[in-house]
Amino acid sequence: MSAKRKPHIHFISFLLALCLCVQLTGCASSSSKESSESSSAASSADSSQTSSDPKRVGKIVEEMAVDYGSYGSEAKDKIDNLLGELSACDASAGKRWKNIMDIWTSDDLGKHLNYDVLPDGLPNTDELCIVVLGFQLNPDGTMKDELIQRLTVALNCAKKYPKAYIACTGGGTASENEAASEAGEMAKWLEQQGIDKKRIITEDNSITTAQNAIFTYDILTSKYTSVKKLAIVSSDYHIATGELLFKAESILRANAVGNEKLEVVSNAAWKAPSGSLSAMFQAGALIELSGDVKTAFNIYYDNYDIHSLPPLK
């Protein structure tokens, strides 16, 4: 699902079983745990005014995300009330999720697309990282046309900004080739097109869009500390989700609200002939960022019972 699509049918039972054990693609489980712990630590770093109840925080976040994913703007009043409850429970979490919800509900999210190449005016330094989101591989591990098209856009961007890094993100989604990963194949393709290997960053553990954001954040903030600004590259229908999740992850992981280490500043898109992502999918992804992987996957696979939540008032 790093490709913003449901995984290959052969993987469904496998991934769900791993998900229930919180073990996603090998070391992914420990990274998810570390990410959740980092988010919790960040939340507590500037929430000395209130004592946090993690379970309550998680349920409020779930309810907010599902309400907006299901009802859109009709849920505004209830979401405002839930944000008030969240702030009373954990002041820092309230501020962070208020910022995230503002981004998600903004009319501007995903509306300003730059087709085929990044716009002028971005830093041509190692402060910029072009993040290319993966797409599910063929069973034999080769890339599908949509992923090659995304890479073609990324190549245009890399040529326009020759000092920027390029992060390829996506794990193993080839049902008949366990050795292949989206990011690995992407990196090889870019090298074949003449991009210096030193510029290419590979994140090959993620299997969801949320994990694209989590694991890429981990790598950039620990190993490539010059990077401060991100430009998301994907298919046009997927840009809004990519920008939302990378912005949200940076907000959740900051040591204080407003002190985010990474900023999403632009995008470049391939014009796909078809494709869409629902607000409910985005809800699941935000819930995954919050650390509730099981609930997220229930949403991804349409197994979530919305009637288990209180109705809109």
Note the pLDDT of residue 312. Answer: 83
**Averaged over 5-23, what is the pLDDT?**
40
**Averaged over 36-56, what is the pLDDT?**
60
Note the pLDDT of residue 51. Answer: 61
209 and 285 Cβ atoms separated by less than 8 Å: yes
Q: Which residue has the higher pLDDT, 186 or 21?
A: 186
Task: Give, in degrees to the nearest 5, the angle at Cα 27 between 259 and 262.
Answer: 15
In the chain, the amino acid numbered 261 is: K
For the cut 90, the answer to whether the pLDDT of residue 55 exceeds it is yes
The percent of residues in the chain predicted with pLDDT above 70, rounded, is: 84
- Could you count the other beta carbons within 10 Å of the beta carbon of residue 249? 27
What topology is assigned to 128-270 in CATH? Rossmann fold (3.40.50)
**Averaged over 289-294, what is the pLDDT?**
97
Containing H/E element for 246?
A: helix 239-253
Q: pLDDT class for 4, splitting at 50, 70, 90?
A: very low
What are phi and psi for residue 131, nearest 5 degrees? -100, 115
Note the pLDDT of residue 195. Answer: 98
Note the pLDDT of residue 52. Answer: 77
- Could you count the other beta carbons within 10 Å of the beta carbon of residue 80? 12
Note the pLDDT of residue 42. Answer: 57
Note the pLDDT of residue 37. Answer: 47
For residue range 111-134, what is the model confidence (pLDDT) as tens digits? 999 999 999 999 999 999 999 999
For residue range 159-191, what is the model confidence (pLDDT) as tens digits? 999 999 999 999 999 999 999 999 999 999 999
Note the pLDDT of residue 307. Answer: 86
Domains of the chain: which residue ranges? 9-110+277-308, 128-270
**Averaged over 98-109, what is the pLDDT?**
97
Q: pLDDT class for 204, splitting at 50, 70, 90?
A: very high
Going along the chain, which residue ranges are E strands? 128-133, 165-169, 200-203, 229-235, 263-270
For the cut 50, the answer to whether the pLDDT of residue 22 exceeds it is no
What are phi and psi for residue 12, nearest 5 degrees? -60, -55
Q: Which residue has the higher pLDDT, 294 or 26?
A: 294
For residue range 205-256, what is the model confidence (pLDDT) as tens digits? 999 999 999 999 999 999 999 999 999 999 999 999 999 999 999 999 999 9
